[in-house]
Structure 1
């Protein structure tokens, strides 16, 4: 299991990009650029969580709040740390923070054939839609995205409710 979960910010862009480079296959067109990440981090209602093993960043989650819904924009775990509960820990942290901010559900979009679907479904996400041809990969192929939703309960007493 991971050693620590922590908040992140714009100063962590190097860690974000290092994890993303390892975690996302460029053939699928899912990774973001540094500029896209920095642009999102500058917006209100956005927060970033990291998973670390010692001094090594092994995963992150980038999320935002929009009124009473939260969106998990990016979730990445380096390949050699997958299958150890890190993705689930980041999802759980994201849901707790979202609940503390008043969100009633957590949304995400994921490639229809992404192996991470098992993690999302195990966490309680259910499919609510499909976007045909959403991802444009470096291989010239387009792939569908599934829109998933996780109902969350608002708990103002949650210790993470004050996290950004």
Structure 2
């Protein structure tokens, strides 16, 4: 998987990209919401079958990533993040569409994701055809201990 969309380079990622993934998460996810994963969590997930990582670069700088997994005819977008300095340039949309395309190539029929209630990324997911299907109360725990709800979304791919 590689390509260019609006000057954004997309490529398949791997374990060697985990430092960049961690750095992007540090910038992208506010610790008060508890959405970021640890490096160990990312490494563990990436080592599992059916998991793939897409890296987006802008001007040669890793600017975003998407991590997803498929299990049979279903897939889940696990993480999607872009550096705040590169937002509003289509990177998140390009990553999401790349993940959807890869999922289709893997025979996936439906994709799922969850996002913190109130996260502006909901607009992107809705624009790309995802519908809210549920809610998980107090799912995320921020660094102050405050809990935040997660909304679950799904989209048919066939």
TM over 0.5: yes
Cα drift, residue 105 of structure 1:
1.1
Matched with 1:131 is 136
Q: Distance in 2 between matches of 1:45 and 1:8?
A: 14
Matched with 2:96 is 91
Q: 1:82 aligned to 2:87?
A: yes
Residues 61-86 of structure 1 deviation map (CA, whole Å, 9 limit, x = unaligned): 00000111110000001111111111
Q: Which stretches in structure 2 are left out of the alignment for 5+ residues?
A: 1-5
SS of aligned partner of 2:145 = coil
Matched with 1:22 is 27
Matched with 2:157 is 152
Alignment of 1:1-164 (within 5 A): 1-153=6-158
Q: Distance in 1 between matches of 2:60 and 2:95?
A: 17
Cα drift, residue 140 of structure 1:
1.5
Alignment check: 8 A CA contact 2:68 2:99 kept: yes
Residues 25-68 of structure 1 deviation map (CA, whole Å, 9 limit, x = unaligned): 00000000000000000000000001101220000000000111
Residues 79-130 of structure 1 deviation map (CA, whole Å, 9 limit, x = unaligned): 1111111111111000000011011111100001101111111111100010
SS of aligned partner of 2:44 = helix
Greater than 2 Å deviation, 4+ residue runs: none
Q: Which stretches in structure 1 are left out of the alignment for 5+ residues?
A: 154-164
Q: Distance in 2 between matches of 1:105 and 1:80?
A: 32
Q: Distance in 1 between matches of 2:121 and 2:48?
A: 27
Q: CA RMSD in A?
A: 0.8
Q: Distance in 2 between matches of 1:66 and 1:147?
A: 18
